[in-house]
Structure 1
């Protein structure tokens, strides 16, 4: 592991569910198996619940500002089928637009920048829209919350932040003397930082996992990724008094090609031609395939 990693499982799940809604045959069967679902009805229902119950903006009721937006851009030569467009509009609350990719590819990035208050300026890097591109699925997630217990800005100061290679760099750290939701486990500690709740009473928190040793991060990441239910088992629920308490201020920008990961995990048929005839109204629908997906997430 030679870089930071940030991604949104909910975003990836919703996009894959939407693609599955327009799939058929062996491609659909493989996607349902991959997403552990019995059918499109179950997928659509669960994705709709995530969008409505979890990813709905709470700023008007005093909670976090949360914006989760979906978009489907289709070339004018491949119009969406009415049945699929209805699912796009009503179930996934996604915008669907017919465009000329040769002249309007930058609309996707403009849309992401507008819908995320300027935080995400580019979801499609240069060169990602090719002359063969006929359909783009994109989503963007914007979250801004206020801590239940704010950190005093005047207490923020420089300390050493240790890197994976053993060296250290100066970094700004926030600190507090108040009780914290923190618990120590075998080899690591977990901190929970709750956000203010709104009138809808939804609870959002940030969890920080810290290995006890300076070189313990790779082993901890391996545990998180290999032990089923690991994250759910190690969540502190009680605020306790702490001694020296510091958290670095940080910002993460991360880009990856998710198609490589999905293929490695066994989802290969969507990346081959065919399987999307339920999606577009064109005699060339059988030529469609997923080429790649390169989401960028800023935190």
Structure 2
């Protein structure tokens, strides 16, 4: 697909329509997935890219039929079952995920790894290549499970600039494995207003269990950042924009959105209440005061095996050898595992990541200086304004923050 500024008006409007169609479904799915994972890890740090998981499972859905497809359509939150509409939307979504920027790197990739000998239909392979910028790669799970695991891990490392290593842990692949869905996403951006390293200090961070610990807290007075208070979620909202894309004349196309509960222990309740409507309200109902911003400097790494989670959300059949109907892809296929791993590094320069209707309080006079001090657990999103969807979703609770990385597994 051509770059948007090279498209005619009609084609560009179609591109935006398809993009927003896919983004709406992706946002709903992202929150469903995030909330389910949090319910099993209520006190843990967590970071993931539900959007790229959404793309990978949509790619599988193209080959699903009958009840398997119905379950996937429902779980992925598509408003229509029309396959061509989904394919058109997928093209726009995949294109946007890989759009080049002068000031940041956003790169994603998906690949299906079916067992050798299971023929993949030509029409299916053509569809995933054309609409998802993806491919299908056969591997020898039966005769060489460890070699297959290493091959998949090597591919993921390459896609994520070596930020995601060992996606498939030792022992995760064996002779009974029939298909693996691997997906990865990598983003590196720089704050529009960077923090100053000399202003980073050790500060108390208050955890959900009532304890305190020392963390590195970055601090800076920032002008014209996007800020609001949201009554429905009982939180403050801060949008920290990344430098945009001069090529597209965009000042800021992505931002880190921090949702900070008004109480130290308010994160769990806020996460239960959040939905697409009040999430979008947090993004849209903002103003631009001067804000004294204090947020932690941290690194997170989370790993997931998502077949049980996705089954619980409503698509169990695709993981069941006796029930899966992937006849639009090939014969006798089912998804054995879905692995996902994501990491984030929030520091003074910006962020480096890899992976994989609310009533708003009236804004105070703009002459006021606001304070935003994230000294207790919060939720954060890496938001794409053009897509109107989160590429990453995470939460910082301070758990094990003294370690270089934290790892949460399901």
1:30 and 2:79 are equivalent in the alignment: no
> Structure 2: which 5+ residue stretches go unaligned?
1-41, 345-410
The aligned counterpart of 1:58 is: 100
Q: Distance in 1 between matches of 2:50 and 2:89?
A: 14
The aligned counterpart of 2:272 is: 222
1:45 and 2:94 are equivalent in the alignment: no
1:247-280 per-residue CA deviation (whole Å, 9 max, x = no partner) reads 1011111123322222222222212233012212
Give the conservation status (yes or no) of the 8 Å contact 1:79–1:98. no
Query: Displacement, 1:228?
Result: 4.4
- Report the TM-score, using the length of structure 1 for normalisation: 0.90
1:98-154 per-residue CA deviation (whole Å, 9 max, x = no partner) reads 222323321111111111111111221222212111222211000001111111111
Residue in structure 2 matching 1:289, options 328, 334, 349: 334
Off by >6 Å, runs of 4+ in structure 1: none
1:75-224 equivalence runs, <5 A: 75-101=115-141, 102=144, 103-179=147-223, 180-186=225-231, 187-198=234-245, 199-200=247-248, 201=250, 203-224=253-274
Q: Distance in 2 between matches of 1:58 and 1:247?
A: 29
Q: Matched residue of 1:234: which SS?
A: helix
Q: Distance in 1 between matches of 2:115 and 2:315?
A: 25
Q: Distance in 1 between matches of 2:268 and 2:75?
A: 26
Q: Matched residue of 2:286: which SS?
A: coil
Residue in structure 2 matching 1:4, options 41, 45, 59: 45
Query: Displacement, 1:39?
Result: 2.5
Q: Matched residue of 2:339: which SS?
A: coil
1:136-178 per-residue CA deviation (whole Å, 9 max, x = no partner) reads 2211000001111111111111111121111111111111112
Query: Displacement, 1:50?
Result: 0.9
Q: Which has the higher contact order (CA 8 A, sep 6+)?
A: 2
- Report the TM-score, using the length of structure 2 for normalisation: 0.67
Q: Distance in 1 between matches of 2:167 and 2:269?
A: 31
The aligned counterpart of 2:386 is: none
Q: Matched residue of 1:214: which SS?
A: coil
Alignment CA distance shift 1:147-1:218 (3 Å): same
Give the conservation status (yes or no) of the 8 Å contact 1:189–1:210. yes
Give the conservation status (yes or no) of the 8 Å contact 1:78–1:134. no
Aligned length: 288
Alignment CA distance shift 1:257-1:136 (3 Å): closer
